[in-house]
Amino acid sequence: MHIHILGICGTFMAGVALIARELGHTVSGCDANVYPPMSDQLEQAGIDLIEGWDPDQLEPAPDLCVIGNALSRGNPLVEAILDRRLAFTSGPQWLTESVLRSRKVLAVAGTHGKTSTSSMLAWMLDSTGRKPGFLIGGVPGNFGVSARLGESDLFVIEADEYDTAFFDKRSKFVHYLPTTVILNNLEFDHADIFTDLPAIQQQFHHLLRTVPGSGTVIVNGADERLEEVLEMGCWSLVQTFGAAQQWQADPLNRDCSEFTVLNHGEIVATVKSALFGEHNMANTLAAIAAAASIGIEPAEAATAMADFVNAQRRLEESYRDGDTVVYDDFAHHPTAIRLTVGALRSRVQNQRILAVVDLRSNTMRLGTHEKTLAAALAGADEVILHAGGDIHWDPKTVISALSVPAVLTKDVDETLNRIKSRLKPGDQVLIMSNGGFGNIHQLLANTLAAQQ
Protein backbone atom coordinates (compact mmCIF):
# COMPACT_ATOMS: atom_id res chain seq x y z
CA MET A 1 0.00 0.00 0.00
CA HIS A 2 1.17 3.54 -0.78
CA ILE A 3 0.55 5.82 2.21
CA HIS A 4 1.05 9.58 1.81
CA ILE A 5 1.43 11.51 5.07
CA LEU A 6 0.57 15.20 5.33
CA GLY A 7 2.56 17.06 8.00
CA ILE A 8 5.16 14.32 8.08
CA CYS A 9 7.90 16.31 9.84
CA GLY A 10 5.93 16.69 13.06
CA THR A 11 7.25 14.35 15.72
CA PHE A 12 4.07 12.27 15.93
CA MET A 13 3.47 12.03 12.19
CA ALA A 14 7.13 11.18 11.58
CA GLY A 15 6.71 8.31 14.02
CA VAL A 16 3.64 7.11 12.13
CA ALA A 17 5.69 7.22 8.92
CA LEU A 18 8.52 5.15 10.40
CA ILE A 19 6.13 2.49 11.68
CA ALA A 20 4.25 2.35 8.37
CA ARG A 21 7.56 1.81 6.60
CA GLU A 22 8.47 -1.00 9.02
CA LEU A 23 5.15 -2.64 8.20
CA GLY A 24 6.25 -2.79 4.57
CA HIS A 25 4.19 0.04 3.12
CA THR A 26 5.49 2.48 0.52
CA VAL A 27 5.54 5.78 2.40
CA SER A 28 5.85 9.33 1.17
CA GLY A 29 5.02 12.60 2.84
CA CYS A 30 5.00 16.36 2.73
CA ASP A 31 5.29 19.31 5.05
CA ALA A 32 5.53 23.08 4.90
CA ASN A 33 9.18 22.89 5.92
CA VAL A 34 11.29 19.79 5.44
CA TYR A 35 14.45 20.08 7.52
CA PRO A 36 16.74 18.10 9.86
CA PRO A 37 16.80 16.30 12.18
CA MET A 38 13.39 14.74 11.44
CA SER A 39 13.94 14.83 7.67
CA ASP A 40 17.23 12.93 8.06
CA GLN A 41 15.53 10.22 10.12
CA LEU A 42 12.77 9.84 7.51
CA GLU A 43 15.06 9.81 4.49
CA GLN A 44 17.28 7.18 6.10
CA ALA A 45 14.16 5.00 6.35
CA GLY A 46 13.59 5.32 2.61
CA ILE A 47 10.68 7.77 2.81
CA ASP A 48 10.24 10.31 0.00
CA LEU A 49 9.72 13.86 1.24
CA ILE A 50 8.03 16.73 -0.59
CA GLU A 51 8.10 20.35 0.53
CA GLY A 52 4.79 22.21 0.31
CA TRP A 53 1.15 21.46 -0.43
CA ASP A 54 1.02 21.22 -4.22
CA PRO A 55 -1.90 18.92 -5.24
CA ASP A 56 0.28 17.52 -8.05
CA GLN A 57 1.89 15.25 -5.45
CA LEU A 58 -1.33 13.23 -5.50
CA GLU A 59 -0.48 11.92 -8.98
CA PRO A 60 -0.59 9.00 -9.06
CA ALA A 61 -3.10 8.86 -6.24
CA PRO A 62 -1.87 7.14 -3.05
CA ASP A 63 -3.95 4.34 -1.57
CA LEU A 64 -4.36 6.29 1.68
CA CYS A 65 -3.67 9.83 2.89
CA VAL A 66 -2.87 10.26 6.59
CA ILE A 67 -3.54 13.87 7.55
CA GLY A 68 -1.79 15.55 10.49
CA ASN A 69 -3.56 17.91 12.89
CA ALA A 70 -1.54 20.91 11.70
CA LEU A 71 -3.54 20.94 8.45
CA SER A 72 -7.00 22.47 8.13
CA ARG A 73 -9.67 23.24 5.57
CA GLY A 74 -8.43 25.68 2.94
CA ASN A 75 -5.10 23.92 2.57
CA PRO A 76 -4.82 23.17 -1.18
CA LEU A 77 -3.74 19.58 -0.62
CA VAL A 78 -6.57 18.90 1.85
CA GLU A 79 -9.05 20.42 -0.58
CA ALA A 80 -7.72 18.27 -3.43
CA ILE A 81 -8.06 15.09 -1.32
CA LEU A 82 -11.67 15.95 -0.51
CA ASP A 83 -12.54 16.97 -4.08
CA ARG A 84 -11.07 13.75 -5.51
CA ARG A 85 -12.71 11.63 -2.77
CA LEU A 86 -9.42 9.97 -1.91
CA ALA A 87 -9.23 7.70 1.14
CA PHE A 88 -7.97 9.58 4.20
CA THR A 89 -7.62 9.10 7.94
CA SER A 90 -5.84 10.64 10.95
CA GLY A 91 -2.49 9.54 12.34
CA PRO A 92 -3.93 8.31 15.67
CA GLN A 93 -6.71 6.37 13.94
CA TRP A 94 -4.29 4.73 11.49
CA LEU A 95 -1.90 3.80 14.31
CA THR A 96 -4.65 2.21 16.38
CA GLU A 97 -6.15 0.20 13.55
CA SER A 98 -2.77 -0.89 12.15
CA VAL A 99 -0.81 -1.53 15.36
CA LEU A 100 -2.25 -0.68 18.76
CA ARG A 101 -5.44 -2.73 18.72
CA SER A 102 -3.38 -5.94 18.83
CA ARG A 103 -0.88 -4.68 21.45
CA LYS A 104 -0.71 -4.13 25.18
CA VAL A 105 -0.42 -0.33 25.17
CA LEU A 106 1.27 1.71 27.90
CA ALA A 107 0.35 5.37 27.44
CA VAL A 108 1.86 8.42 29.13
CA ALA A 109 -0.42 11.46 29.42
CA GLY A 110 -0.22 14.80 31.19
CA THR A 111 0.57 18.44 30.59
CA HIS A 112 4.26 17.99 31.40
CA GLY A 113 6.82 15.20 31.29
CA LYS A 114 5.23 12.98 28.64
CA THR A 115 8.31 12.66 26.42
CA SER A 116 10.77 12.01 29.24
CA THR A 117 8.50 9.54 31.03
CA SER A 118 7.59 7.57 27.90
CA SER A 119 11.28 7.45 26.94
CA MET A 120 12.15 6.08 30.39
CA LEU A 121 9.39 3.50 30.24
CA ALA A 122 10.39 2.30 26.78
CA TRP A 123 13.99 1.95 27.96
CA MET A 124 12.99 0.07 31.13
CA LEU A 125 11.05 -2.41 29.00
CA ASP A 126 13.80 -2.72 26.41
CA SER A 127 16.67 -3.11 28.85
CA THR A 128 14.81 -5.96 30.58
CA GLY A 129 14.41 -7.83 27.29
CA ARG A 130 10.82 -6.94 26.40
CA LYS A 131 11.69 -5.23 23.05
CA PRO A 132 8.63 -2.93 22.96
CA GLY A 133 7.38 -0.83 20.12
CA PHE A 134 7.06 2.87 20.83
CA LEU A 135 6.08 6.25 19.45
CA ILE A 136 7.46 9.22 21.37
CA GLY A 137 7.29 12.96 20.69
CA GLY A 138 11.06 13.29 20.65
CA VAL A 139 14.11 11.18 19.90
CA PRO A 140 15.02 9.05 22.96
CA GLY A 141 18.78 8.98 23.40
CA ASN A 142 18.91 5.22 23.94
CA PHE A 143 17.17 4.43 20.66
CA GLY A 144 18.09 7.18 18.19
CA VAL A 145 14.63 7.08 16.56
CA SER A 146 11.29 8.48 17.67
CA ALA A 147 9.30 5.36 16.81
CA ARG A 148 9.61 1.67 16.03
CA LEU A 149 7.29 -1.30 15.60
CA GLY A 150 9.00 -3.50 18.23
CA GLU A 151 9.22 -7.25 18.59
CA SER A 152 6.71 -7.97 21.37
CA ASP A 153 3.09 -7.32 22.24
CA LEU A 154 4.08 -4.20 24.24
CA PHE A 155 3.84 -0.67 22.88
CA VAL A 156 4.72 2.58 24.70
CA ILE A 157 3.12 5.77 23.41
CA GLU A 158 3.32 9.42 24.38
CA ALA A 159 -0.37 10.26 24.74
CA ASP A 160 -1.00 13.84 23.71
CA GLU A 161 -4.22 15.72 24.55
CA TYR A 162 -4.02 17.91 21.44
CA ASP A 163 -6.76 17.37 18.85
CA THR A 164 -6.59 14.57 16.28
CA ALA A 165 -7.30 16.22 12.91
CA PHE A 166 -9.43 18.90 11.26
CA PHE A 167 -12.21 16.29 10.94
CA ASP A 168 -11.79 14.77 14.43
CA LYS A 169 -11.58 17.20 17.34
CA ARG A 170 -11.17 14.56 20.03
CA SER A 171 -7.81 14.43 21.81
CA LYS A 172 -5.34 12.11 20.10
CA PHE A 173 -5.03 9.89 23.16
CA VAL A 174 -8.69 8.83 22.99
CA HIS A 175 -7.71 6.56 20.09
CA TYR A 176 -4.93 4.60 21.80
CA LEU A 177 -6.84 2.04 23.94
CA PRO A 178 -4.18 1.73 26.69
CA THR A 179 -4.08 -1.10 29.20
CA THR A 180 -1.78 0.98 31.43
CA VAL A 181 -1.96 4.77 31.47
CA ILE A 182 0.13 7.28 33.40
CA LEU A 183 -1.52 10.60 34.28
CA ASN A 184 1.46 12.77 35.21
CA ASN A 185 -0.25 16.11 35.87
CA LEU A 186 -2.92 18.39 34.45
CA GLU A 187 -2.94 22.15 33.86
CA PHE A 188 -4.57 24.52 31.41
CA ASP A 189 -2.69 24.54 28.12
CA HIS A 190 -3.37 24.65 24.38
CA ALA A 191 -5.53 27.76 24.65
CA ASP A 192 -5.93 27.71 20.87
CA ILE A 193 -8.19 24.64 21.04
CA PHE A 194 -9.42 24.40 24.66
CA THR A 195 -11.61 27.09 26.19
CA ASP A 196 -10.81 26.27 29.81
CA LEU A 197 -9.44 23.62 32.18
CA PRO A 198 -12.73 21.66 32.45
CA ALA A 199 -12.63 21.16 28.67
CA ILE A 200 -9.25 19.42 29.01
CA GLN A 201 -10.43 17.43 32.03
CA GLN A 202 -13.33 16.16 29.93
CA GLN A 203 -10.87 14.77 27.38
CA PHE A 204 -8.86 13.07 30.13
CA HIS A 205 -12.11 11.56 31.38
CA HIS A 206 -12.78 10.25 27.87
CA LEU A 207 -9.33 8.65 27.96
CA LEU A 208 -10.18 6.85 31.22
CA ARG A 209 -13.36 5.56 29.61
CA THR A 210 -11.22 3.63 27.13
CA VAL A 211 -9.07 1.82 29.74
CA PRO A 212 -10.39 -1.70 30.41
CA GLY A 213 -11.43 -2.86 33.86
CA SER A 214 -8.37 -5.12 33.90
CA GLY A 215 -6.14 -2.13 33.12
CA THR A 216 -4.18 0.17 35.44
CA VAL A 217 -4.32 3.94 35.88
CA ILE A 218 -1.19 5.37 37.50
CA VAL A 219 -1.96 8.90 38.66
CA ASN A 220 -0.15 11.74 40.38
CA GLY A 221 -1.96 11.61 43.71
CA ALA A 222 -1.05 15.19 44.60
CA ASP A 223 -2.76 16.74 41.56
CA GLU A 224 -6.24 17.98 42.49
CA ARG A 225 -7.22 18.44 38.83
CA LEU A 226 -6.50 14.79 38.13
CA GLU A 227 -8.43 13.81 41.25
CA GLU A 228 -11.42 15.65 39.76
CA VAL A 229 -10.98 13.65 36.55
CA LEU A 230 -11.04 10.39 38.50
CA GLU A 231 -14.21 11.53 40.27
CA MET A 232 -15.87 11.83 36.85
CA GLY A 233 -15.53 8.07 36.52
CA CYS A 234 -12.82 5.41 36.49
CA TRP A 235 -13.37 1.70 35.95
CA SER A 236 -9.79 0.42 36.30
CA LEU A 237 -7.28 -0.26 39.08
CA VAL A 238 -5.87 3.06 40.33
CA GLN A 239 -2.36 3.40 41.74
CA THR A 240 -1.03 6.74 42.96
CA PHE A 241 2.47 8.18 43.00
CA GLY A 242 4.00 11.17 44.75
CA ALA A 243 4.44 12.38 48.32
CA ALA A 244 2.43 10.29 50.81
CA GLN A 245 1.08 8.08 47.99
CA GLN A 246 1.31 4.36 47.20
CA TRP A 247 4.48 4.91 45.15
CA GLN A 248 6.94 7.35 46.72
CA ALA A 249 10.45 8.63 46.05
CA ASP A 250 12.90 9.61 48.79
CA PRO A 251 15.83 11.69 47.46
CA LEU A 252 19.32 10.67 48.56
CA ASN A 253 21.10 13.81 47.33
CA ARG A 254 20.50 17.49 46.71
CA ASP A 255 19.57 17.35 43.03
CA CYS A 256 17.40 14.20 43.19
CA SER A 257 19.60 12.25 40.77
CA GLU A 258 19.66 9.46 43.37
CA PHE A 259 16.62 8.30 45.32
CA THR A 260 14.93 5.29 46.84
CA VAL A 261 11.59 4.00 45.54
CA LEU A 262 8.94 2.95 48.03
CA ASN A 263 5.76 0.96 47.40
CA HIS A 264 3.26 1.02 50.27
CA GLY A 265 6.06 2.33 52.49
CA GLU A 266 8.52 -0.45 51.67
CA ILE A 267 11.79 0.32 49.85
CA VAL A 268 11.72 -1.66 46.61
CA ALA A 269 14.47 -0.02 44.53
CA THR A 270 17.22 2.60 44.39
CA VAL A 271 17.64 4.84 41.35
CA LYS A 272 20.89 6.44 40.21
CA SER A 273 20.75 8.34 36.92
CA ALA A 274 22.16 11.26 34.98
CA LEU A 275 18.83 13.10 35.29
CA PHE A 276 18.29 15.64 38.03
CA GLY A 277 15.46 17.69 39.47
CA GLU A 278 12.29 16.80 41.38
CA HIS A 279 10.26 16.60 38.17
CA ASN A 280 12.56 13.94 36.72
CA MET A 281 12.38 12.01 39.99
CA ALA A 282 8.58 12.05 39.72
CA ASN A 283 8.69 11.02 36.04
CA THR A 284 10.97 8.10 36.87
CA LEU A 285 8.75 7.01 39.74
CA ALA A 286 5.71 6.94 37.44
CA ALA A 287 7.60 4.93 34.81
CA ILE A 288 8.71 2.36 37.42
CA ALA A 289 5.10 2.00 38.59
CA ALA A 290 3.94 1.50 34.99
CA ALA A 291 6.63 -1.12 34.37
CA ALA A 292 5.54 -2.91 37.54
CA SER A 293 1.98 -3.05 36.19
CA ILE A 294 3.16 -5.51 33.50
CA GLY A 295 5.32 -7.58 35.82
CA ILE A 296 8.73 -5.86 35.79
CA GLU A 297 10.28 -5.72 39.24
CA PRO A 298 10.94 -2.14 40.43
CA ALA A 299 14.60 -2.95 41.11
CA GLU A 300 14.99 -4.14 37.50
CA ALA A 301 13.39 -1.00 36.12
CA ALA A 302 15.47 1.20 38.42
CA THR A 303 18.70 -0.44 37.25
CA ALA A 304 17.88 0.59 33.68
CA MET A 305 18.02 4.26 34.68
CA ALA A 306 21.79 4.07 35.20
CA ASP A 307 22.18 3.92 31.41
CA PHE A 308 19.20 6.07 30.45
CA VAL A 309 19.79 8.93 28.01
CA ASN A 310 16.89 11.37 27.88
CA ALA A 311 15.23 12.58 24.70
CA GLN A 312 16.79 15.51 22.93
CA ARG A 313 16.01 19.00 24.23
CA ARG A 314 15.41 18.01 27.85
CA LEU A 315 18.05 20.07 29.68
CA GLU A 316 20.38 18.95 26.93
CA GLU A 317 23.85 20.45 26.88
CA SER A 318 24.49 22.13 23.53
CA TYR A 319 27.80 23.73 24.53
CA ARG A 320 30.23 23.55 27.43
CA ASP A 321 33.47 25.35 28.17
CA GLY A 322 34.60 24.53 31.68
CA ASP A 323 31.83 25.64 34.01
CA THR A 324 30.05 27.70 31.34
CA VAL A 325 27.21 25.67 29.85
CA VAL A 326 24.45 26.30 27.29
CA TYR A 327 21.33 24.14 27.66
CA ASP A 328 18.55 23.44 25.18
CA ASP A 329 15.18 22.66 26.77
CA PHE A 330 11.66 22.16 25.42
CA ALA A 331 9.91 23.93 28.33
CA HIS A 332 7.23 26.38 27.16
CA HIS A 333 4.60 26.37 29.93
CA PRO A 334 5.23 28.33 33.17
CA THR A 335 5.15 25.18 35.31
CA ALA A 336 7.66 23.42 33.06
CA ILE A 337 9.82 26.55 33.03
CA ARG A 338 9.72 26.78 36.84
CA LEU A 339 10.61 23.11 37.24
CA THR A 340 13.43 23.30 34.70
CA VAL A 341 14.95 26.40 36.30
CA GLY A 342 14.58 24.77 39.72
CA ALA A 343 16.21 21.55 38.56
CA LEU A 344 19.16 23.45 37.16
CA ARG A 345 19.44 25.52 40.34
CA SER A 346 19.59 22.33 42.42
CA ARG A 347 22.53 21.19 40.31
CA VAL A 348 24.58 24.42 39.90
CA GLN A 349 23.72 26.10 43.23
CA ASN A 350 25.19 29.63 43.21
CA GLN A 351 26.27 29.86 39.58
CA ARG A 352 24.37 32.44 37.55
CA ILE A 353 21.45 31.20 35.42
CA LEU A 354 20.59 33.24 32.34
CA ALA A 355 17.10 32.09 31.26
CA VAL A 356 16.00 32.67 27.67
CA VAL A 357 12.32 32.02 26.89
CA ASP A 358 10.92 31.87 23.37
CA LEU A 359 7.27 33.03 23.53
CA ARG A 360 6.38 30.77 20.64
CA SER A 361 3.63 28.35 21.68
CA ASN A 362 0.04 29.20 20.80
CA THR A 363 -0.82 29.55 24.48
CA MET A 364 2.14 31.86 25.10
CA ARG A 365 1.32 34.03 22.07
CA LEU A 366 -2.27 34.42 23.26
CA GLY A 367 -1.09 35.72 26.64
CA THR A 368 -2.71 32.97 28.69
CA HIS A 369 0.33 32.75 30.98
CA GLU A 370 1.01 36.48 31.32
CA LYS A 371 0.32 36.52 35.07
CA THR A 372 2.27 33.37 35.97
CA LEU A 373 5.39 33.63 33.83
CA ALA A 374 7.33 36.01 36.08
CA ALA A 375 6.95 33.72 39.09
CA ALA A 376 8.13 30.77 36.98
CA LEU A 377 11.33 32.66 36.16
CA ALA A 378 12.01 33.91 39.69
CA GLY A 379 14.79 31.34 40.19
CA ALA A 380 16.90 32.75 37.35
CA ASP A 381 19.51 35.49 37.76
CA GLU A 382 18.74 37.15 34.45
CA VAL A 383 15.96 36.76 31.87
CA ILE A 384 15.52 37.30 28.14
CA LEU A 385 12.01 37.04 26.68
CA HIS A 386 12.07 36.49 22.93
CA ALA A 387 8.90 37.59 21.13
CA GLY A 388 9.74 36.86 17.52
CA GLY A 389 6.23 36.01 16.32
CA ASP A 390 2.71 37.39 16.50
CA ILE A 391 2.20 38.24 20.19
CA HIS A 392 -1.27 39.31 21.37
CA TRP A 393 -0.13 40.91 24.63
CA ASP A 394 2.70 43.04 26.00
CA PRO A 395 5.49 40.85 27.50
CA LYS A 396 6.90 43.94 29.19
CA THR A 397 4.37 43.30 31.95
CA VAL A 398 6.37 40.18 32.84
CA ILE A 399 9.67 42.05 32.69
CA SER A 400 8.37 44.73 35.05
CA ALA A 401 7.25 42.03 37.50
CA LEU A 402 10.71 40.43 37.65
CA SER A 403 13.22 41.47 40.31
CA VAL A 404 16.22 40.44 38.17
CA PRO A 405 17.64 42.06 35.00
CA ALA A 406 15.30 41.25 32.10
CA VAL A 407 14.79 42.41 28.52
CA LEU A 408 12.46 41.76 25.60
CA THR A 409 14.01 40.88 22.23
CA LYS A 410 12.38 40.70 18.82
CA ASP A 411 14.72 38.58 16.69
CA VAL A 412 17.37 35.89 17.04
CA ASP A 413 20.31 38.22 16.34
CA GLU A 414 19.19 40.60 19.07
CA THR A 415 18.79 37.70 21.49
CA LEU A 416 22.23 36.33 20.63
CA ASN A 417 23.86 39.73 21.12
CA ARG A 418 22.18 40.14 24.51
CA ILE A 419 23.43 36.74 25.67
CA LYS A 420 26.98 37.43 24.49
CA SER A 421 27.08 40.86 26.10
CA ARG A 422 25.90 39.57 29.47
CA LEU A 423 27.65 36.19 29.60
CA LYS A 424 30.29 35.68 32.30
CA PRO A 425 32.57 32.69 32.95
CA GLY A 426 30.68 29.97 34.79
CA ASP A 427 27.22 31.15 33.66
CA GLN A 428 24.48 28.66 32.80
CA VAL A 429 22.51 29.71 29.73
CA LEU A 430 19.12 27.98 29.73
CA ILE A 431 17.33 28.37 26.38
CA MET A 432 13.68 27.23 26.44
CA SER A 433 11.48 26.86 23.37
CA ASN A 434 9.07 24.38 21.79
CA GLY A 435 10.41 25.27 18.33
CA GLY A 436 13.68 25.57 16.44
CA PHE A 437 14.28 29.13 17.73
CA GLY A 438 16.26 30.03 14.59
CA ASN A 439 18.94 27.47 15.50
CA ILE A 440 20.04 29.84 18.26
CA HIS A 441 21.67 27.05 20.29
CA GLN A 442 24.10 26.15 17.53
CA LEU A 443 24.73 29.79 16.60
CA LEU A 444 25.61 30.59 20.21
CA ALA A 445 27.79 27.49 20.54
CA ASN A 446 29.64 28.40 17.33
CA THR A 447 30.23 31.95 18.51
CA LEU A 448 31.48 30.92 21.95
CA ALA A 449 33.74 28.23 20.47
CA ALA A 450 35.22 30.76 18.06
CA GLN A 451 35.95 33.12 20.93
CA GLN A 452 37.86 30.35 22.69
pLDDT at 36: 66
pLDDT at 37: 67
Contact 133, 156 (CB under 8 A): yes
pLDDT at 1: 95
Residue 392: partners with Cβ closer than 8 Å, 6 or more residues away = 365, 366, 367
pLDDT at 191: 64
pLDDT at 41: 82
Strand partners, 259: 251, 271
Mean pLDDT of 380-406: 84
- Please give the single-letter amino acid code of residue 109: A
Q: Which residues of 382-410 are buried (b: 16+ CB within 10 A; e: fewer)?
A: bbbbbbbeebebebeebbeebebebebbe
Mean pLDDT of 317-326: 83
Q: Which domains occur in the chain, in start order?
A: 2-89 (3.40.50.720), 99-307 (3.40.1190.10), 316-451 (3.90.190.20)
Contact 56, 30 (CB under 8 A): no
Is the pLDDT higher at 363 or at 339? 339
pLDDT at 323: 83
Looking at every residue in the chain, the average pLDDT score rounds to 90
pLDDT over threshold 90, residue 443 = no
Element (H, E) at 258: strand 258-263
Is the pLDDT higher at 33 or at 136? 136
Mean pLDDT of 322-340: 83
Nearest CA to 92 among 27, 177, 25?
177
Residue 214 banded pLDDT, cuts 50, 70, 90: very high
Flag whether the pTM goes above 0.75.
yes
Residues 147-160 pLDDT 10s: 999 999 999 999 99
Residues 50-109 pLDDT 10s: 999 999 999 999 999 999 999 999 999 999 999 999 999 999 999 999 999 999 999 999
What whole-number distance in Å separates Cα of residue 135 and Cα of residue 99? 11
Contact 292, 359 (CB under 8 A): no
Best-predicted range by mean pLDDT (99-113, 332-346, 389-403)? 99-113
Residue 253 banded pLDDT, cuts 50, 70, 90: very high
What whole-number distance in Å separates Cα of residue 353 and Cα of residue 356? 10
Is the pLDDT higher at 273 or at 368? 273
What whole-number distance in Å separates Cα of residue 272 and Cα of residue 261? 11
